[in-house]
Amino acid sequence: MTRPEDPTKEGFALAGWYSDFDMTKEWDFSKDTVQGSITLYAKWVAPSQLPAGGFHMPLWGWIALGAVLLAVAAVVCAAFGIPGLLIALLVGAALFTLAKLLLTQGPLGTKLAKFFSLG
């Protein structure tokens, strides 16, 4: 089943689609299958009840990103003659923190979240 375009409701935010009236079984458009006639229920909440907007990456993605940024930091430190693994670790950690903030907060995170939720 293809995910429909998110509806809008004045003063509310869509928190997800559910297959039951009590909204305990969230519908996963990428995994759940339709076996007949079904009704999906839109869960509406106040915008303040949603988690911080932005792109949500699985844990393995953050680990991979951290490893890549650490490698980049080590290469940059070596290229500029900055000695020591500790400096590379600190630079890598700073880059990781900056990347995570950029990906999960603000307009970039919102655009990424919308792009990846289309799947």
Residue among 87, 63, 93 nearest 74 (CA) = 87
Please say if the pLDDT value at position 11 is more than 80.
yes
Q: Residue 90, Cβ neighbours under 10 Å: how many? A: 13
Half-sphere exposure of 114 (CA within 13 A, CB side): 8
pTM for the model stands at 0.42
Token pair recorded at residue 96: 């990781």
pLDDT in tens, 36-82: 898 999 988 887 776 655 556 666 677 777 778 778 887 877 788 87
| Bridge partner list, 18 | 26, 41
pLDDT in tens, 99-110: 777 766 656 666
Instruction: Give CA–CA dist 59/68, Å, rounded.
Output: 14
Q: Residue 86, Cβ neighbours under 10 Å: how many? A: 9
Please say if the pLDDT value at position 119 is more than 60.
no
Token pair recorded at residue 17: 């689609």
